[in-house]
Structure 1
Amino acid sequence: MPPRPHSPRWYALPLLALGVAGFAAFWMLLALALNRQCAWLAPVAALDVVLLLRLAKWPAGASRAAWALLATAAAITAANVLIAAGQVGQQFGLRPWESALKMGPSYAWLLTTLALDPVDLALCAAALLLALWMGLSGPRPAPSAR
């Protein structure tokens, strides 16, 4: 029996996890190459997460909004921790993921809070609100041809 048209697909959450990891890695590489935080990528991450959920045909509503919010927060957190780990790891000749395994959460939090300015924090908050809003909104009917 085929699945109902508005039921979540089994591959939605693994696709979401893979998308978040890939986007966080891209964000980290760009930030380390430009030597900036690149917080403008936070709203792009929110749009990416919502697009992945829509492609997986996750139904609009509270559950899609919650998953979008959680995944966007995970992408923002992972990217900022990896950026901090990459900058510290450069001093010791370590790769970002090697440095991230050696950093504790309190040290990562300290470096991240020192690196983010109010504009960066506003962009991250806007990304979370965007993910929530886009997750709640469903497909809109096409305009009438009449």
Structure 2
Amino acid sequence: MNRTIPNGKSHASSALPAAVAGLQQVPQLIPAHPTSAGGKALPPSKMKKPPADKDSEEYRQRRERNNLAVKKSRMRSKQKALDTQQRVNELKEENERLEAKIKLLSKELSVLKDLFLEHAHNLADNVQPPAGAGGSSPAPNSTSANGQ
């Protein structure tokens, strides 16, 4: 490896080891378990356990606990699915009720709009400017003629 120094001349790297010779050497670290990634410790669940004797009491107890845990987990999963389905059904029913209410309220709004417009037209027909007055004010007894 050649280095260029500021004056433009190349300088051989063979001089470097002589300059660094006074530094202490650091030994290379070798991992205790070469198969583990990056020297990280494995969690107990990932460590290889010696195979248990299938006839041992400990093995039978572990299998029994595991079987119960699996059964419990599956029951919880089924219950959660049933609860979710029940909630879906409840929401569908509520949605149908709300849609029916929307229809009813829309019809009621339409009827009320029609009544309002009819009433507004009746008022407009009864309130006419006097023929000879030329003013824009209504006749003094125009509302009493309507009966209201």
Query: TM-score by structure 1 length?
Result: 0.25
Query: TM-score by structure 2 length?
Result: 0.25
Q: Which of the two has higher C-alpha Rg?
A: 2
Bigger fraction of residues in strand: 2
